[in-house]
Structures are given as C-alpha cells and as structure tokens.
Amino acid sequence: MAILNCENKLQERMQETDLLLQKLQEMDETEQTLMEELENAEIALDARQSGKSVKSVDASEMTAEAGLDAEAAKSDILEKMDNKKKEMSLMEEIVQDLEKRWVQIQENALKQPTPAQREKLLDKQLHSLMEQLAAKQAQAEGLVGEIHLKEMELERLKGLWRMIESSNVEGNTARNRFGRSTSEKGSASTDYMVDKLPYSTGGRTEHQERLMLLRSAFVMYILFLNIVVLIKLSF
C-alpha cells in the first residue's frame, strides 16, 4: 500500500514537472517574441530618426510622436520581459524543489521493501521459528526421558529404603524376643549375659550408627535427585 502511494505521488510530481516545463518553453517563446518586437521597434525608431529632417514641420512632429511611441513600446516590452524573467526564476525554483522531492521519494521507495521482499523475509522468519520450535521440542522430549529415568531410579531407591527399614524392624523384633527369652532364665544365665552385655551393646550401637549414616546418605541422595529434576524442569 505504501509503495502504491509513492508511485501515485511520483506520477503526480512527474505531471507537474511536465506542465512546468511546458510553461517554461512558452515563456522562452514569449521572450523571443518580445525580443524580436523590441529589435523591430528599435530598427523602426532608428529609421525614423535617420530620415530626412528637411521636410515639413508636420513630418517632424510625426517623427517625434513615432519616437515617443517607440520608446513607450520599448519600455513596455522591457517591463514584460522583466516580469517574464521573474516568472521564469520562480518556475525554476519550483522545478528544483520538485526535483529534490522526486529524489527523496525515490530514496524512500528504495528503502521500503517490495511485497516480494517482505514475503521472502516473513518466510525466512517463519522457517527460523519452526527450527527453534523443533529444537525446543527435541530438548523437551530429552528432558522428559531423563526425568522418567530419574523417577525410575527414585522408585528403585525407595524400594531399597523400604527393604532396609523392613530388615531393621525385623532385627529389632528379633532382639526384643531374644531379650525376653533371656530375662526368663536363672541367675547363672543372667550373670553370663551381664558378662557379654558390653559386647552386644557395642554391636547394636555400631549397627545403629551404620543405619543412621545410611539413612542420612539416602535422604541426601533423594534430595539431590529432586533438585536435579527441578532444575531440568525449570529449563
């Protein structure tokens, strides 16, 4: 639409320029005609002034009147020529201004892309966006697969953790049963268990410490996996 408007303006400026050139040509012809009339008037005046002055007084008066008429005609012609020159100067300024506008319009038309260029640019941008979308989709699919693997690993670790807790519960139950059975025995057995108590207590303490360390490490690992998953999802 903008290019069509520029073309219409260019057509109008060209028509105006043609009209001004025609006027300038007419003014040149008028100036030439006036110059010829001025030359003819000067020739006639010279011829009348160079005529014989020995004729009658009436002839002298007629010659004087003719000279005055010629001078008046010459002055009128010079005034007309001066006016025409002013008009020509004004027309030349208008033509120069139109030429400058014409150059500016041409520069603006060159800066603005054509419909074909705009279509090509839009196609290029669309192709680039489609490539970016495909890359993002591939990245998203990769993240989904990686998240799925992390979830599977997390489930496996949870199962392992449940097994550890189950074995811990079974161990505690067995120890409790063993404690109750030993408490029902005689004093001899009690003395024997008292002798063995430091060893068994130390074993349970070491086992509990290992379980606590394992539990802490497992919690830290699960926390680390959750952080990794959140970071992946944020991108």
**Contacts for 232 with CB less than 8 Å, ≥ 6 apart:** 143, 146, 147
| pLDDT value of position 143 | 76
- pLDDT score recorded for residue 159: 78
Q: What pLDDT sits at residue 61?
A: 52
For residue 99, what are its two tokens? 């030429």
Angle, CA 55 vertex, CA 53 and CA 58 arms, to 5°: 105
Find tokens 């005055």 and name the residue. 68
pLDDT for position 205: 67
Q: Which two tokens stand for residue 137?
A: 């989709």
CA distance 79 to 75: 6
Sequence ranges of the domains in the chain: 2-114, 133-234
Given this model, what pLDDT does residue 178 score? 58
Q: Which of 116-143 are b and which e, b meaning 16 or more Cβ less than 10 Å from the residue's Cβ?
A: eeeeeeeeeeeeeeeeeeeeeeeeeeee
pLDDT reported for residue 48: 66
Report pLDDT for 100: 84
Give 10-residue mean pLDDT values along the chain (235 residues).
60 71 74 76 70 48 56 70 75 79 76 77 84 80 78 80 74 64 50 45 62 75 74 65
